[in-house]
Protein backbone atom coordinates (compact mmCIF):
# COMPACT_ATOMS: atom_id res chain seq x y z
CA UNK A 1 0.00 0.00 0.00
CA UNK A 2 1.31 3.43 -0.94
CA UNK A 3 2.16 5.31 2.35
CA UNK A 4 1.31 8.63 0.75
CA UNK A 5 -2.07 7.30 -0.34
CA UNK A 6 -2.73 6.03 3.18
CA UNK A 7 -1.82 9.38 4.70
CA UNK A 8 -4.10 11.21 2.26
CA UNK A 9 -6.93 8.83 3.07
CA UNK A 10 -6.42 9.32 6.81
CA UNK A 11 -6.42 13.09 6.41
CA UNK A 12 -9.60 12.91 4.33
CA UNK A 13 -11.47 10.94 6.98
CA UNK A 14 -10.27 13.25 9.76
CA UNK A 15 -11.60 16.17 7.75
CA UNK A 16 -14.84 14.29 7.16
CA UNK A 17 -15.23 13.61 10.90
CA UNK A 18 -14.52 17.29 11.61
CA UNK A 19 -17.34 18.31 9.28
CA UNK A 20 -19.69 15.70 10.74
CA UNK A 21 -18.95 16.86 14.26
CA UNK A 22 -19.90 20.46 13.57
CA UNK A 23 -22.83 19.56 11.33
CA UNK A 24 -24.41 17.46 14.05
CA UNK A 25 -23.58 19.89 16.88
CA UNK A 26 -27.24 20.91 17.04
CA UNK A 27 -28.09 17.42 18.32
CA UNK A 28 -26.12 18.00 21.52
CA UNK A 29 -28.01 21.14 22.45
CA UNK A 30 -31.40 19.69 21.56
CA UNK A 31 -30.75 16.48 23.50
CA UNK A 32 -29.78 18.65 26.46
CA UNK A 33 -33.04 20.57 26.05
CA UNK A 34 -34.91 17.26 25.96
CA UNK A 35 -33.33 16.20 29.28
CA UNK A 36 -34.42 19.49 30.83
CA UNK A 37 -37.95 19.20 29.44
CA UNK A 38 -38.24 15.70 30.90
CA UNK A 39 -36.89 16.96 34.23
CA UNK A 40 -34.04 14.41 34.36
CA UNK A 41 -31.57 16.53 36.38
CA UNK A 42 -34.18 17.22 39.09
CA UNK A 43 -35.30 13.59 39.23
CA UNK A 44 -31.71 12.38 39.73
CA UNK A 45 -31.16 15.08 42.35
CA UNK A 46 -34.35 14.24 44.26
CA UNK A 47 -33.58 10.51 44.16
CA UNK A 48 -30.71 11.20 46.61
CA UNK A 49 -28.81 8.15 45.35
CA UNK A 50 -27.53 6.98 41.94
CA UNK A 51 -30.60 6.08 39.90
CA UNK A 52 -30.76 3.06 37.61
CA UNK A 53 -32.19 3.24 34.12
CA UNK A 54 -35.40 1.32 35.04
CA UNK A 55 -35.95 3.57 38.07
CA UNK A 56 -35.39 6.64 35.90
CA UNK A 57 -37.96 5.38 33.40
CA UNK A 58 -40.43 4.84 36.25
CA UNK A 59 -39.78 8.26 37.78
CA UNK A 60 -40.28 9.91 34.37
CA UNK A 61 -43.51 7.92 33.89
CA UNK A 62 -42.35 6.85 30.44
CA UNK A 63 -43.75 3.86 28.57
CA UNK A 64 -41.48 0.83 29.20
CA UNK A 65 -40.96 0.59 25.43
CA UNK A 66 -38.98 3.86 25.61
CA UNK A 67 -36.35 2.39 27.97
CA UNK A 68 -33.79 1.62 25.27
CA UNK A 69 -34.28 5.08 23.72
CA UNK A 70 -33.75 6.79 27.06
CA UNK A 71 -30.57 4.72 27.49
CA UNK A 72 -29.27 6.08 24.19
CA UNK A 73 -30.12 9.66 25.14
CA UNK A 74 -28.37 9.27 28.49
CA UNK A 75 -25.36 7.59 26.83
CA UNK A 76 -24.74 10.71 24.75
CA UNK A 77 -25.30 13.07 27.68
CA UNK A 78 -22.95 11.02 29.86
CA UNK A 79 -20.31 11.13 27.14
CA UNK A 80 -20.79 14.91 26.90
CA UNK A 81 -20.25 15.31 30.65
CA UNK A 82 -23.77 16.29 31.68
CA UNK A 83 -24.29 13.12 33.70
CA UNK A 84 -22.03 10.35 34.98
CA UNK A 85 -22.49 6.71 35.89
CA UNK A 86 -21.38 4.86 38.97
CA UNK A 87 -21.60 1.28 40.17
CA UNK A 88 -24.38 0.43 42.62
CA UNK A 89 -23.70 -2.29 45.18
CA UNK A 90 -27.10 -3.40 46.50
CA UNK A 91 -25.74 -6.61 47.98
CA UNK A 92 -23.12 -9.20 47.13
CA UNK A 93 -25.63 -11.73 45.81
CA UNK A 94 -27.21 -9.53 43.14
CA UNK A 95 -25.51 -8.43 39.93
CA UNK A 96 -23.83 -5.04 40.10
CA UNK A 97 -25.84 -2.24 38.45
CA UNK A 98 -25.02 1.20 37.11
CA UNK A 99 -26.73 4.35 38.30
CA UNK A 100 -26.79 7.89 36.93
CA UNK A 101 -25.50 10.80 39.01
CA UNK A 102 -25.24 14.53 38.42
CA UNK A 103 -22.07 16.32 37.34
CA UNK A 104 -21.17 19.98 38.02
CA UNK A 105 -22.80 20.87 34.68
CA UNK A 106 -26.13 19.14 35.36
CA UNK A 107 -26.21 20.66 38.86
CA UNK A 108 -26.46 23.98 37.04
CA UNK A 109 -29.65 22.71 35.40
CA UNK A 110 -31.64 22.13 38.61
CA UNK A 111 -34.72 24.28 38.14
CA UNK A 112 -35.17 25.57 41.69
CA UNK A 113 -31.58 26.78 42.08
CA UNK A 114 -30.79 30.48 41.66
CA UNK A 115 -27.81 29.49 39.51
CA UNK A 116 -29.95 27.30 37.23
CA UNK A 117 -29.28 27.58 33.50
CA UNK A 118 -32.19 25.36 32.49
CA UNK A 119 -34.17 28.35 31.25
CA UNK A 120 -31.11 29.62 29.38
CA UNK A 121 -30.77 26.37 27.45
CA UNK A 122 -34.46 26.32 26.53
CA UNK A 123 -34.42 29.97 25.45
CA UNK A 124 -31.37 29.68 23.21
CA UNK A 125 -32.82 26.71 21.30
CA UNK A 126 -36.34 28.12 21.16
CA UNK A 127 -37.60 27.87 17.54
CA UNK A 128 -38.00 31.65 17.38
CA UNK A 129 -34.28 32.10 18.06
CA UNK A 130 -33.17 29.15 15.94
CA UNK A 131 -35.00 30.04 12.73
CA UNK A 132 -32.75 33.04 11.86
CA UNK A 133 -29.81 30.64 11.55
CA UNK A 134 -31.65 28.90 8.72
CA UNK A 135 -31.63 32.08 6.61
CA UNK A 136 -28.14 33.35 7.45
CA UNK A 137 -26.99 33.00 3.82
CA UNK A 138 -30.06 34.92 2.61
CA UNK A 139 -29.33 37.66 5.16
CA UNK A 140 -25.78 38.14 3.84
CA UNK A 141 -27.24 38.82 0.38
CA UNK A 142 -30.08 40.99 1.67
CA UNK A 143 -30.47 44.42 3.25
CA UNK A 144 -32.02 43.59 6.64
CA UNK A 145 -30.09 44.62 9.74
CA UNK A 146 -30.12 41.13 11.25
CA UNK A 147 -30.86 37.55 10.22
CA UNK A 148 -33.62 37.61 12.87
CA UNK A 149 -35.32 40.34 10.86
CA UNK A 150 -34.86 38.34 7.65
CA UNK A 151 -36.57 35.37 9.27
CA UNK A 152 -39.35 37.16 11.12
CA UNK A 153 -39.86 40.48 9.39
CA UNK A 154 -39.20 42.39 12.63
CA UNK A 155 -36.35 42.97 15.05
CA UNK A 156 -35.83 40.81 18.13
CA UNK A 157 -36.82 43.70 20.39
CA UNK A 158 -40.09 44.30 18.50
CA UNK A 159 -40.84 40.57 18.57
CA UNK A 160 -40.18 40.39 22.31
CA UNK A 161 -42.61 43.26 22.90
CA UNK A 162 -45.35 41.32 21.09
CA UNK A 163 -44.52 37.91 22.58
CA UNK A 164 -44.97 37.82 26.40
CA UNK A 165 -43.78 34.22 26.55
CA UNK A 166 -40.49 35.03 24.81
CA UNK A 167 -40.12 38.21 26.88
CA UNK A 168 -40.46 36.19 30.10
CA UNK A 169 -38.11 33.51 28.80
CA UNK A 170 -35.37 36.04 28.01
CA UNK A 171 -35.82 37.81 31.36
CA UNK A 172 -35.65 34.48 33.18
CA UNK A 173 -32.52 33.66 31.18
CA UNK A 174 -30.79 36.85 32.28
CA UNK A 175 -31.88 36.25 35.86
CA UNK A 176 -30.45 32.73 35.96
CA UNK A 177 -27.26 33.93 34.27
CA UNK A 178 -26.81 36.58 36.97
CA UNK A 179 -27.33 34.02 39.72
CA UNK A 180 -24.25 32.08 38.63
CA UNK A 181 -22.05 35.06 39.54
CA UNK A 182 -22.90 35.04 43.26
CA UNK A 183 -19.74 33.30 44.47
CA UNK A 184 -17.37 35.37 42.33
CA UNK A 185 -18.93 38.66 43.40
CA UNK A 186 -18.19 37.94 47.04
CA UNK A 187 -14.49 38.25 46.26
CA UNK A 188 -14.91 41.67 44.62
CA UNK A 189 -14.66 43.81 47.74
CA UNK A 190 -12.02 46.09 46.26
CA UNK A 191 -14.29 46.71 43.26
CA UNK A 192 -17.63 47.31 45.01
CA UNK A 193 -16.65 47.96 48.63
CA UNK A 194 -16.03 51.72 48.32
CA UNK A 195 -19.18 52.47 46.35
CA UNK A 196 -21.98 54.23 48.17
CA UNK A 197 -24.44 54.01 45.28
CA UNK A 198 -24.75 51.95 42.12
CA UNK A 199 -27.06 52.01 39.09
CA UNK A 200 -27.63 48.68 37.35
CA UNK A 201 -28.20 49.74 33.74
CA UNK A 202 -30.40 47.34 31.80
CA UNK A 203 -30.73 45.44 35.08
CA UNK A 204 -33.81 43.45 34.11
CA UNK A 205 -35.51 41.92 37.14
CA UNK A 206 -32.76 43.11 39.48
CA UNK A 207 -31.15 39.75 40.25
CA UNK A 208 -27.56 40.95 39.98
CA UNK A 209 -28.35 44.00 42.15
CA UNK A 210 -29.82 41.78 44.87
CA UNK A 211 -26.74 39.55 44.74
CA UNK A 212 -24.48 42.58 45.08
CA UNK A 213 -26.52 43.76 48.08
CA UNK A 214 -26.09 40.38 49.76
CA UNK A 215 -22.33 40.87 49.67
CA UNK A 216 -22.29 44.67 50.08
CA UNK A 217 -25.45 45.71 51.96
CA UNK A 218 -24.25 49.30 52.43
CA UNK A 219 -24.66 50.13 48.72
CA UNK A 220 -27.76 51.98 47.52
CA UNK A 221 -28.70 50.16 44.29
CA UNK A 222 -30.99 51.36 41.51
CA UNK A 223 -32.21 49.13 38.69
CA UNK A 224 -32.75 50.99 35.42
CA UNK A 225 -34.63 49.31 32.60
CA UNK A 226 -37.56 49.81 30.24
CA UNK A 227 -41.00 50.27 31.86
CA UNK A 228 -42.40 46.88 30.83
CA UNK A 229 -39.30 45.12 32.23
CA UNK A 230 -39.33 46.68 35.71
CA UNK A 231 -43.10 46.90 36.09
CA UNK A 232 -44.13 45.54 39.49
CA UNK A 233 -40.51 44.88 40.46
CA UNK A 234 -40.37 44.96 44.28
CA UNK A 235 -38.26 47.61 45.98
CA UNK A 236 -36.52 47.60 49.34
CA UNK A 237 -34.62 50.06 51.53
CA UNK A 238 -31.45 49.73 49.45
CA UNK A 239 -32.97 48.68 46.12
CA UNK A 240 -34.90 51.16 44.01
CA UNK A 241 -36.35 50.85 40.52
CA UNK A 242 -36.35 53.45 37.74
CA UNK A 243 -38.23 52.96 34.49
CA UNK A 244 -36.29 54.67 31.73
CA UNK A 245 -34.13 54.48 28.62
CA UNK A 246 -30.35 54.20 28.98
CA UNK A 247 -29.91 56.06 25.68
CA UNK A 248 -31.65 59.12 27.13
CA UNK A 249 -30.67 59.37 30.79
CA UNK A 250 -29.01 57.39 33.60
CA UNK A 251 -29.53 58.35 37.27
CA UNK A 252 -26.41 59.71 39.01
CA UNK A 253 -24.40 57.33 41.21
CA UNK A 254 -20.87 56.55 42.39
CA UNK A 255 -20.77 53.59 40.03
CA UNK A 256 -22.62 52.26 37.01
CA UNK A 257 -22.99 48.52 36.40
CA UNK A 258 -23.62 47.22 32.87
CA UNK A 259 -23.89 43.43 32.76
CA UNK A 260 -24.31 41.61 29.45
CA UNK A 261 -25.80 44.68 27.77
CA UNK A 262 -23.18 46.25 25.52
CA UNK A 263 -22.70 43.10 23.45
CA UNK A 264 -26.29 43.61 22.25
CA UNK A 265 -25.36 46.83 20.47
CA UNK A 266 -23.10 48.08 17.70
CA UNK A 267 -20.17 50.39 18.38
CA UNK A 268 -22.04 53.65 17.76
CA UNK A 269 -24.82 52.76 20.20
CA UNK A 270 -22.31 51.53 22.79
CA UNK A 271 -20.53 54.87 22.70
CA UNK A 272 -23.86 56.64 23.26
CA UNK A 273 -24.61 54.45 26.28
CA UNK A 274 -21.11 54.88 27.70
CA UNK A 275 -21.30 58.66 27.33
CA UNK A 276 -24.53 58.63 29.38
CA UNK A 277 -22.71 56.55 31.98
CA UNK A 278 -19.83 59.03 32.01
CA UNK A 279 -22.27 61.89 32.67
CA UNK A 280 -23.83 60.02 35.61
CA UNK A 281 -20.70 59.36 37.69
CA UNK A 282 -18.24 61.60 39.57
CA UNK A 283 -14.56 61.94 38.67
CA UNK A 284 -12.06 59.14 39.16
CA UNK A 285 -10.56 60.98 42.15
CA UNK A 286 -14.02 61.01 43.74
CA UNK A 287 -14.46 57.27 43.17
CA UNK A 288 -16.52 57.29 40.00
CA UNK A 289 -16.34 54.32 37.65
CA UNK A 290 -18.31 52.12 35.28
CA UNK A 291 -18.26 48.37 35.91
CA UNK A 292 -18.88 46.25 32.82
CA UNK A 293 -19.46 42.50 32.94
CA UNK A 294 -19.09 41.20 29.40
CA UNK A 295 -17.02 39.01 27.12
CA UNK A 296 -13.47 39.90 26.09
CA UNK A 297 -12.17 37.81 23.18
CA UNK A 298 -8.55 36.82 23.79
CA UNK A 299 -7.39 34.11 21.44
CA UNK A 300 -3.78 34.37 22.63
CA UNK A 301 -4.49 33.62 26.30
CA UNK A 302 -7.71 31.60 26.25
CA UNK A 303 -7.72 27.90 25.55
CA UNK A 304 -9.08 26.82 22.16
CA UNK A 305 -12.51 25.77 23.48
CA UNK A 306 -13.07 29.05 25.34
CA UNK A 307 -12.12 31.10 22.29
CA UNK A 308 -14.49 29.05 20.13
CA UNK A 309 -17.31 29.64 22.60
CA UNK A 310 -16.70 33.39 22.60
CA UNK A 311 -16.63 33.47 18.80
CA UNK A 312 -19.92 31.53 18.65
CA UNK A 313 -21.43 34.07 21.07
CA UNK A 314 -20.21 36.80 18.73
CA UNK A 315 -22.06 35.26 15.78
CA UNK A 316 -25.10 34.77 18.01
CA UNK A 317 -25.17 38.52 18.66
CA UNK A 318 -24.73 39.24 14.97
CA UNK A 319 -27.64 36.98 14.03
CA UNK A 320 -30.10 38.27 16.61
CA UNK A 321 -29.43 41.92 17.38
CA UNK A 322 -26.56 43.31 15.28
CA UNK A 323 -24.40 43.28 18.41
CA UNK A 324 -20.94 41.80 18.87
CA UNK A 325 -18.37 40.43 21.27
CA UNK A 326 -15.15 42.44 21.42
CA UNK A 327 -11.44 41.99 22.03
CA UNK A 328 -9.52 44.29 24.35
CA UNK A 329 -8.48 46.70 21.62
CA UNK A 330 -12.08 47.10 20.47
CA UNK A 331 -13.24 47.73 24.04
CA UNK A 332 -10.47 50.32 24.50
CA UNK A 333 -11.58 52.17 21.37
CA UNK A 334 -15.12 52.46 22.74
CA UNK A 335 -13.92 53.70 26.13
CA UNK A 336 -11.67 56.39 24.67
CA UNK A 337 -14.31 57.59 22.22
CA UNK A 338 -16.83 57.87 25.09
CA UNK A 339 -14.43 60.08 27.07
CA UNK A 340 -12.93 57.64 29.58
CA UNK A 341 -9.25 57.72 30.48
CA UNK A 342 -8.37 54.19 31.60
CA UNK A 343 -9.70 50.71 32.31
CA UNK A 344 -8.83 47.42 34.00
CA UNK A 345 -9.91 43.94 32.89
CA UNK A 346 -10.30 41.08 35.40
CA UNK A 347 -11.32 37.68 33.93
CA UNK A 348 -13.28 36.18 36.84
CA UNK A 349 -16.66 35.13 35.39
CA UNK A 350 -15.74 32.28 33.05
CA UNK A 351 -16.66 33.41 29.55
CA UNK A 352 -17.04 36.99 30.81
CA UNK A 353 -14.68 39.47 32.40
CA UNK A 354 -15.21 42.33 34.82
CA UNK A 355 -14.03 45.62 33.30
CA UNK A 356 -13.57 48.73 35.45
CA UNK A 357 -13.66 51.90 33.35
CA UNK A 358 -12.56 55.24 34.82
CA UNK A 359 -13.37 58.81 33.74
Q: How far apart are CA 132 and CA 242, in angstroms?
A: 33
**Chain segment 259-275, per-residue pLDDT in tens:** 999 999 999 999 999 99
With 60 as the cut, is the pLDDT of residue 128 above it?
yes
In this model, does residue 92 exceed pLDDT 60? no
Grade residue 179 by pLDDT with cuts at 50, 70 and 90.
low
Beta-bridged to residue 86, according to DSSP, are 99
Catalytic residue, chosen from 47, 49, 89, 263, is 263
Position 185 scores a pLDDT of 74
**What does the alpha-carbon distance between residue 240 and residue 235 come to, in Å, rounded to a whole number?**
5
Concatenating the DSSP letter of every residue in 11-40 gives HHHHHHHHHHHHHTHHHHHHHHHHHHHHTH
Question: Residue 5: its pLDDT value, please?
Answer: 63
State how far the alpha carbon of 115 is from the alpha carbons of 151, 192, 211, 230, 349, in Å: 32, 21, 11, 21, 13
Dihedrals phi, psi of 31, to nearest 5 degrees: -70, -35
> For the residues 172-176, what does the mean pLDDT come to?
71
Cβ burial of 346 (10 Å; 0-12, 13-18, 19+) is middle
pLDDT at 183: 67
End-to-end CA separation in angstroms for the chain: 69
DSSP 286-337: TT-EEEEEEEEE-TTTS-HHHHHHHHHHHHHHHHHHS---EEHHHHHHHHHH
pLDDT of 348 reads 79
How far CA 131 is from CA of 149, 226, 317, 342, in Å, comes to 10, 27, 14, 41
Residue 255 bridge partners (DSSP):
198, 289
What average pLDDT score do residues 154-160 get? 86
Range scoring the smallest mean pLDDT among 121-125, 184-188, 240-244, 249-253 = 184-188
Q: Are 96 and 89 contacting, i.e. CB atoms less than 8 angstroms apart? A: yes
What does the pLDDT average to over 174-184? Answer: 69
pLDDT at 232: 84
Q: What is the pLDDT of residue 3?
A: 58
Report how far residue 273's alpha carbon sits from residue 267's, in angstroms, rounded to the nearest whole number. 10
For the chain, give the mean pLDDT. 90
DSSP helix/strand/coil, 91: coil
Given this model, what pLDDT does residue 94 score?
Answer: 61
Average pLDDT over residues 246-250: 95
Buried b (16+ CB within 10 A) or exposed e, 70-95: beebbeebbeeebbebeeeeeeeeee
**Which range, 25-39, 185-199, 221-235, has the best average confidence (pLDDT)?**
25-39
Share of the chain above pLDDT 90, in %: 65
Q: Does residue 178 carry a pLDDT above 60?
A: yes
Task: Return the pLDDT at 246.
Answer: 95
Does 33 or 127 have the greater pLDDT score? 33
Give, in order, the Cα–Cα distances in Å from 269 to each of 85, 96, 333: 49, 61, 13
pLDDT value at 109 more than 70: yes
Question: What's the whole-number mean pLDDT along residues 33-56?
Answer: 96
Q: Are 115 and 179 in contact (CB under 8 A)?
A: yes
pLDDT of residue 190: 86
Q: Which residue has the higher pLDDT, 182 or 118?
A: 118
User: CA–CA separation, 232 vs 241, rounded Å?
Assistant: 9
pTM (two decimals): 0.86
- CA atoms lying within 13 Å on the CB side of residue 215: 20
Asked if residues 117 and 176 have their Cβ atoms less than 8 Å apart, the reply is: yes
pLDDT at 329: 96
Give Rg (Cα) of the chain.
24
Query: How far apart, in whole angstroms, are the C-alpha atoms of residue 343 and residue 347?
Result: 13
Helix, coil or strand: residue 95: coil
Percent over 70 (pLDDT), the chain: 94
CB of 174 closer than 8 Å to CB of 181: no
State the Cα–Cα distance between residues 73 and 61, nearest whole angstrom: 16
Residue range 274-332, pLDDT digits in tens: 999 999 999 998 999 999 999 999 988 889 999 999 999 999 999 999 999 999 999 99
* Catalytic residue status for 218: no
Q: Is the pLDDT of residue 1 over 60?
A: no
Q: Which residues pair with 293 in a beta bridge?
A: 259, 354
Angle of helix 40-47 versus helix 53-60 axis, rounded to 10 = 120
Amino acid sequence: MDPNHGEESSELFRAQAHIYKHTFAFANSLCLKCAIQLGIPDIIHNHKHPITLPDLVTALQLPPAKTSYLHRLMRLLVHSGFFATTKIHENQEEEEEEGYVLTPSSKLLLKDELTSLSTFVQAIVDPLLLSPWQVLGDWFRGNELTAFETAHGASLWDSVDKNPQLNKLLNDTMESDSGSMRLALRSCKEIFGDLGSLVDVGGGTGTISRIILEAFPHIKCTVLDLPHVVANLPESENLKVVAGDMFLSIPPADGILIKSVLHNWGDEDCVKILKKCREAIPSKDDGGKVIIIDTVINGERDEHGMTELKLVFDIFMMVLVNGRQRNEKEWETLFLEAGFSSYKITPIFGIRSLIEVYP
